[in-house]
Structure 1
Amino acid sequence: MTAAVEMPRVEECVVAACSYNDTGDCHAFAITIGSPDHAHCHTFVEMPAIRGGVDGMTAQVGACQRADCRHNEQLECHAPGIRVGPDNDMADCMTYDER
């Protein structure tokens, strides 16, 4: 059995249209980042009438599919924290840094 490691936190999310976003804080339990072509936040949900997540919780990066990011080791993010914002898509990891 392996011990759980501390996952990086989503320090800021400026994607106001996401149902997990509450005044710049992501309240999902964990998010997934990445596609083969860019660092998209796969947890992004746009449902204006519904707020998601858990009050008082700050999201963590549960998985990252961008193996070409310098923060990625075995599909786990090792950045101290990440920012999510608009780039190629509605919600992308702005901490992504190609190796």
Structure 2
Amino acid sequence: MVDKRSPGDIPRIDASDPLPAYQEPSSRWATPFITYRDGSPVHTVALRYGCALSSRERAAGLSAQLFADTAEDLQRLIEREDATRAALLRGGNGDES
């Protein structure tokens, strides 16, 4: 299909318009990445900016950054941390497994 707009017809985007591909993050975790420790790859993830741990979460043993040997192990750690946090938010002591 031929676009018949003139070169001067530049679409204007208001500064308050959301970016087309942007979606609000659905997780409190940032995107996992691989770093290296002693030459070996280590799968790592950290809490997103603005999702800092409360003193109660730190006292329950939750971490702001997780490390694992494999992506699957990292996913299990994330799920365990999220389950512990959910138990804390429900009023538990955070040691439900």
TM-score by length of 2: 0.25
Higher strand share: 1
Q: Calculate the TM-score normalised by the size of structure 1.
A: 0.25
Please identify the structure whose Cα radius of gyration is greater.
2
* Higher normalized contact order (CA 8 Å, seq sep 6+, divided by chain length): 1
